[in-house]
């Protein structure tokens, strides 16, 4: 299933999707795409309050809008907040002809 073309997502931006009843989101950082399940490891709730707003105000970290937990974009590790040391679950994807695709 094609989600988007890599040029459709701006650098340091994020976008949410639902795939097979699973909420996921993608982030573009340093021309790389990262995809995670939209599920905070602290309470198992979605991360964002507003659509497609998964990053902090400076666009440096993924932020849980519920508790303020901060996660590294590159590996999903929580570096601050109630789930310190836990990680977001990466969601498998491929890039085919410039499109991010998931199964």
Q: What is the reported pTM?
A: 0.95
The average confidence (pLDDT) of the chain is 96
Confidence band, pLDDT 50/70/90 cuts, at residue 93: very high
Amino acid 57: pLDDT = 95
Cα–Cα distance measured from residue 95 to residue 71, given in angstroms and rounded to the nearest whole number: 23
Amino acid 25: pLDDT = 98
The CATH number given to whatever domain includes residue 63 is: 2.102.10.10
Domain count of the fold of the chain: 1
Cα–Cα distance measured from residue 52 to residue 12, given in angstroms and rounded to the nearest whole number: 12
Q: What is the mean pLDDT of residues 39-59?
A: 94
Amino acid 103: pLDDT = 84
Sign of the torsion formed by the C-alpha atoms of 6, 13, 81 and 24 = negative
48: its two tokens: 């964002």
User: Are the beta carbons of 46 and 40 closer than 8 angstroms?
Assistant: yes
Range of the domain at 20: 2-101
């Amino acid at each position: 299933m094609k989600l988007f073309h890599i040029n459709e997502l701006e650098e340091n931006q994020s976008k949410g999707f639902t795939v097979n009843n699973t909420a996921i989101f993608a982030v573009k950082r340093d021309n790389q795409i990262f995809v995670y399940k939209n599920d905070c490891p602290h309470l198992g709730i979605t991360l964002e309050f507003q659509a497609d707003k998964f990053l902090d105000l400076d666009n440096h970290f993924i932020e849980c809008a519920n508790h303020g937990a901060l996660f590294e974009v590159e590996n999903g590790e929580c570096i601050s907040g109630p789930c310190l040391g836990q990680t977001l679950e990466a969601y498998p994807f491929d890039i085919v002809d410039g499109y991010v695709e998931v199964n």
